[in-house]
Structure 1
Amino acid sequence: MKRLISITLLTTFLTPYSVTATPPRNPDQTVNCEILIVGGGLSGVAAAYESLLAGNTVCLTEITDWLGGQISSQGTSALDERPTQRAKQFYARGYLELRNRIQKKYQKLNPGDCWVSDSCFLPGDAHDIIYQMLKDAEKQGKGKLNLFLNTVIKDLQISENGKIINSAIAIQYQPTKNSPPLNTFTLSQTIDDAYNYQNSTNFNKNIIRFIPKKSTQNNHQWYVIDATETGEIIALADVPYRLGIDPISYLEPSSSSSTNYSYCTQGFTYTFAMEATREPQPQIMPPFYNQYAPYFSYELSRLANFDLVFTYRRIWSPETGKNTKFGGINFTSPTPGDISMQNWTWGNDYRPGTAQDNLIYTRQQLNATGQLQPGGWKGGLRTRTLRKGEENALAYYYWLVSGNTDSQLGANVKKPQPNHRFLTGINSPMGTVHGLSKYPYIREGRRIIGRRSWGQPQGFTIWEIDISRRNYNDEYYRQTLPKKTYRQLKAALAGLEAVSVITGQVSPEKAMKRSRSTIFPDSVGIGHYAIDFHPCMENSPPEAPGNKERAGERRGAGQAYPFQIALRAMIPQKIDNLLVGGKSIATSHIAAAAYRVHSFEWSVGVAAGTVASFALKENIFPYQLVDDLPRSEPKLQVLKRILEKSGNPTAFPDTSIFNQNWQDWK
């Protein structure tokens, strides 16, 4: 059942309630795990899926009460896929199973008839499908799933030598007897409470201690996988990581900064659902609307059509509308009863980019706020920025239905659309009383710096030039980069001619450019997506009138070659029994803009779960599989064969180092 709550009433949910911090108490529960997976997004559930099929005892924690991350609790239930990969159905086996179950649920893959994807659907159904997949994997593989929803990791206990996570302390929160149900309040109101050991007015807390499952066969008793959206465990474990923009170099030549700039990550989004109605609906202006209204825009003239924006990520369409075309895009027009999920760059994207408003705290900010002290962890996010993102989303809905100005396109572009309503309630598409997603869609988090590797003594990273199709003969690079850097860039892209470029026998301008992504000998998964940016804004606050995107941030955007996921990108420094999945693997800021969508997240989760299972069985640490590269490592080859044999590809067809023509994968 869907309910309509006025925006004025919704704003009362944005008023924070106070929580008092207290020292930790003894755990209420101790749970044994072979693999502890933190984060129940697509990467986390994929890791759990493969680990269960391998017969392991898996502990999986998730901050919300829905599994699936992007496609459920974050509301972005539209599968972002490249047409070539989709046409060949070349995905990890679990991702294919997910797509098949979506199709079986609705008798079609795209029940929303959206135009941005071949599959748009209801977020709550995604959770149900994924949960059943995990239960089926548990039964098939004879593993054991210990699932902890509404659960956050609060503390880690690390060995004296600093190399092993010995245990993890978590808080599972549940509503008190007389408090409102879960998902009544927004994340900004509840996050401090969720990470607090003390019971509160709204939540009772169950303190859980996760420890290794005892084994007489294995000295390496368990593995921890960080599959959180922002890299919480890598921050808590204090392993080296990057955040935000990397400086210009021959590896990252399109960077918008000459130095590290940690405050600018991609924008985050609170999604919401709105329904088309036959009659006009009452629309009440939020009290903060005028603060955010100067930001909103259709962005481009070819997108300046309400029906096009509504159907962009339409997630439910009981009746097919008439065929329509605008700006070169074909779609079916909305009909009453259609439900749209909104996720728009110049709409409910919130894009902070300064030290005053960045969402994800830097290490220095974590220290300053006491979050790296024992018992001090609160998720590593700026609560005030979360709250402003929530307000921005509510204001954007009002702009869609009542606004008549456009910040980028001027007057006479935006017209009111009153025949719509904002969907709220526990049984609404977002599953929340307030109508916003349970958790924001966060496109970029902390990114580890891998261990020293052949050719990368500062720590392994996947860089822009490893995947980008960009033409680096562009005059910008020749004029902007120092001569030495430009020569290094051309040499890095020259393949067999690299030595000739470095020694000066061939000029950089005449050197051939390789026509593929970097081939990694330790590839454990695949992905393919454009380098897609939602840049931060120049000034604070993001919604300030006349504010602009950070200059040069879209320079690196564009098409990417199909790419691989290197195992070295998943292995952090310092901690030997920690693996990293999701968006926190070792990529640069620009490469991360491609390494972030649905099928990639699933693929890297598959790799994390399979590597952890293999390491347990072989009684080794993952770094031992790659520390001798480029020398061949027999056990690495065994691992790759296990992945391939189980239907989890580590390379795209016809994309070997010997094949210079990757045209089939554009």
Structure 2
Amino acid sequence: MKQEQADVIVVGGGLGGCAAALAVAKMGLRVIMTEETDWIGGQLTSQAVPPDEHQWIEKFGCTKTYREFRNRIRAYYKNNYPLTDQAKKDPFLNPGNGWVSRLSHEPKVALRVLQDMLAPYINSNQVMIHLNSKLMEAEMSNDKVASINIQQQSLSQEIIKLTAPYFVDATECGELLPLTNTEYVTGAEAKQETGEPHALDQPNPSDIQAITYVLAVEYVENGDFVIPKPAQYDFWKTFIPTYSDKPLLSWYAVNSADITSLKEFTLLPNSKKIADLFTYRRAIDTRHLAKNLYEGDISLINWPQNDYFLGSIIDVSEKERQRHLGNAKQLSLSLLYWLQTEAPRYGGGRGYPELRLATTALGTEDGLAKYPYIRESRRIKAVYTITERDVSKDFITENERCTFEDSVGVGSYHLDMHHTTVTNRTFYIPSKPYEIPLGALLPVRLKNLLPACKNIGTTQITNSCYRLHPTEWNIGESVGYLIAYAIDNDISPHQVRVEKNHLSAYQQLLINNGVEIHWPADLE
């Protein structure tokens, strides 16, 4: 068995993992990062979801490195794409003009930018990345992770033993937690446990938010690109979810402004101002281009219609996990087939055969993302658990804001919980700009394992706002600096929080490196 050693092992190459690796490397330590797919970047790349962000993102509310990432995305288009003069001059260029994001862009561009940001540390051997690597097992000693084994998903199937003083779980589903016997929760907690008014009366660990297999499509005028009929199309065509009287494959979905009603959608912009879904997560708007680089606009299809909630992929057998992943893929392909053949067209007629599966956009043969979009992970039982009362506007007065003495970052997003696998419930609750408490990053028992994405100490309800791109990045970056500070001062991460002088010094380290830990008082 091959063995490798570093100061920090980061398991998972998503946004939190990349941010953690960057922070650790900047502090002069060596990192080994593993990733299950062949793309780093998680939500932005292998899951194909452009950044969901808050309204202040262009001027405040993220770390300096996340802002650098955003600036590099725009610079990449301006330096490499044949843009119009207007697009080149636009300081707030939105490559896809998607209305869900101020920076809707292609996953491959995000991948390139992340690779460039890590390149100096990879080239100097401070960061080593193992792609296509599956986490296999972990060895424990006295409430600490001693080592983990990963297996290369290649012809060699080589197993590598990784050892380090610290381990970071940046996997999409918190895969390191059960292997290390870390205390964690899944699904829905009970009201009695969390004190949250929107929690269930009884806990249900299997009631987990929907996953989505995003697919990329290109709209080509007068084209005819109908795919073969998916094997499960007849099932999904007639499937009516419990929360609706309309088929899932329809132009109707739950209205986020009033979850008791349905809202009508359509595919393309129209005179009646019916919400058009093609532009929702459009990743490239060809009107920005001075040359015919693409045959049509490209959009990433992550809609209510392809949210898969018929079963969880967490803490189930591998056979059941693969069944649900296969079903989720079939749902997305069935949505595309429905769009191409049967979807009512605005103005009359049925079907949009002009939609072409953009197989090159996501680096896959089937045009689906390399990995499903994961909204909810296993979550550590933490020193402090963030609840609905910490962030919901229902519990914070108009002139107040969520603040924590041990804040290590900031973020903002609605409490946006997609339909769950058992109760099929959903929320879209207004929230206040929030902070990230250090206590939520510390497991109740383990000493050298830290979370770096959606696996922090939130409830199911608060996970739904702490799960978004800039917050995940902030969590990972703050964890990276926490480990570096703990190593440099020969103390534990838990001591950093308890001992006020160390907490203050660690927070100053964050501030010095561009991590905003409090919202400004005069935020409009």
Task: Pick one of 57, 61, 66 that aligns with 2:30.
Answer: 57
Task: Indicate yes or no: 2:355 matched with 1:420.
Answer: yes
Select which of 388, 393, 396 maps to 2:327: 388
Instruction: Tell me the distance in 1 between the aligned counterparts of 2:199 and 2:324.
Output: 23
- Conserved? CA contact 1:245–1:255, under 8 Å: no
Matched, 1:287 2:257: no
Distance, in Å, in 1 between the alignment partners of 2:443 and 2:421 is 30
Shift in Å, 1:122? 1.2
Write the distance in 2 (CA, Å) between the matches of 1:58 and 1:381: 34
Q: 1:441 aligns with which of 365, 370, 373?
A: 373
1:386-423, Cα deviation, whole Å (9 max, x unpaired)? 111111111111112212479xxxx9999311111112
List aligned pairs for 1:123-202, cutoff 5 A: 123-137=107-121, 144-159=126-141, 161=142, 163-174=143-154, 176=155
Residue matched to 1:207: 159
Provide the C-alpha distance between the structure 1 equivalents of 2:277 and 2:338, rounded to a whole number of angstroms: 13
Give the conservation status (yes or no) of the 8 Å contact 1:281–1:418: yes
2:283 is the counterpart of 1:315: yes
Secondary structure in 1 matching 2:300: strand
CA drift at 1:270: 0.5
Structure 1: give runs of 5+ residues left out of the alignment. Answer: 1-26, 177-203, 213-221, 322-334, 370-377, 452-459, 473-492, 494-512, 540-548, 655-661
* Structure 2 counterpart of 1:234: 177
Q: Who wins on radius of gyration, i.e. which is larger?
A: 1
Aligned pairs (5 A) from 1:7-86: 27=1, 29-76=2-49, 78-83=50-55, 85-86=56-57
* Alpha-carbon offset, residue 247 of structure 1: 0.9
How far is the alpha carbon of 1:450 from its aligned partner? 1.0
Query: Residues 285 and 138 (structure 1 numbering): CA distance in 2 closer, same or farther, change over 3 Å?
Result: closer
Deviation at 1:89, TM superposition (A): 3.6
1:350 is aligned, of 305, 308, 320, to 308
Q: Report SS of the residue matched to 2:159.
A: strand
Structure 1 residue aligned with 2:503, among 636, 657, 660?
Answer: 636
Q: Deviations over 1:342-398 (max 9, x none)?
A: 0001x111113xxxx32211xxx5xxx5xxxxxxxx6x9712111111111111111
Aligned mates of 2:401, 2:349 — CA distance in 1: 42
Aligned pair partner of 1:430 in 351, 355, 362: 362
Q: Which residue of 1 aligns with 2:445?
A: 574
Q: 1:534 aligns with which of 396, 402, 418?
A: 418
1:399 aligns to what?
Answer: 338
Residue in 2 that maps onto 1:120: 104
In structure 2, the CA distance between the partners of 1:259 and 1:136, relative to structure 1 (3 Å rule), is: same
CA distance, structure 1, for counterparts of residue 48 and residue 348 of structure 2: 28
- Across the two proteins, how many residue pairs are aligned to each other? 482
Shift of 1:526: 1.2
Percent of aligned positions with the same letter in both sequences?
31
Q: In structure 2, what residue type is equivalent to 1:79?
A: P
Partner SS for 1:260: coil
Distance in 1 (CA, whole Å) between partners of 2:35 and 2:388 is 31
Mapped contact 2:496–2:506 kept (Cα < 8 A):
no
> Per-residue deviation at 1:240?
1.3
Distance 1:419 1:405, change over 3 A: closer
1:450-529 matched pairs, under 5 angstroms: 450-451=382-383, 460-470=384-394, 513=397, 515-529=399-413
What is the one-letter code of the residue matched to 2:286? Answer: P
Cα 1:649/1:282, change in 2 over 3 Å? closer
Shift in Å, 1:621: 1.0
* Structure 1 Cα separation of the partners of residues 4 and 237 of structure 2: 49
**Residues 537/237 of structure 1: CA separation in 2 closer, same or farther (3 Å cut):** closer
Contact 2:410 2:471 in 1 (8 A): yes
Deviation (angstroms), 1:264: 1.3
Unaligned runs of 5+ in 2: 79-86, 88-92, 239-247, 256-261, 269-275
TM-score by length of 2: 0.87
> Are residues 1:337 and 2:296 paired?
yes
Specify the SS of the correspondent of 1:386.
helix
CA-CA distance at 1:278 after TM superposition: 2.2
2:336 maps to amino acid: Y
- Given that 1:273 and 1:423 are in contact with CA atoms closer than 8 Å, whether structure 2 keeps it comes out as yes
Deviation at 1:566, TM superposition (A): 1.1
The one-character-per-residue Cα deviations of 1:597-617 (angstroms, maximum 9, x if unpaired) are 110011001111000111111
Return the offset for 1:87: 3.9
Query: Offset of 1:316 from its aligned partner?
Result: 1.3
Please report how far the alpha carbon of residue 340 of structure 1 lies from its aligned counterpart in structure 2 after TM superposition: 0.8
- Equivalent residue, structure 1, for 2:219: 276
Q: Which amino acid aligns with 2:201?
A: S
AA in 2 matched with 1:340: S
How far apart are the structure 2 equivalents of 1:261 and 1:123? 34
- The offset of 1:517, in angstroms, is 3.9
1:486 aligned partner: none
CA contact (8 A) 1:404 1:413 kept: no
How far apart in 1 are the matches of 2:418 and 2:348? Answer: 23
Q: 2:134·2:152 contact (CA, 8 Å) conserved in 1?
A: yes
Residue in 2 aligned with 1:645? 512
**By percentage of residues, which structure has more strand?**
2
Alignment-mate amino acid for residue 51 of structure 1: V
- Say if 1:251 and 1:465, in contact at 8 Å, map to a contact too: no
TM-score (norm 1): 0.69
Secondary structure (helix, strand or coil) at the match of 2:419 reads: coil
Q: Which amino acid aligns with 2:331?
A: N
Q: By how many angstroms is 1:624 displaced?
A: 1.2
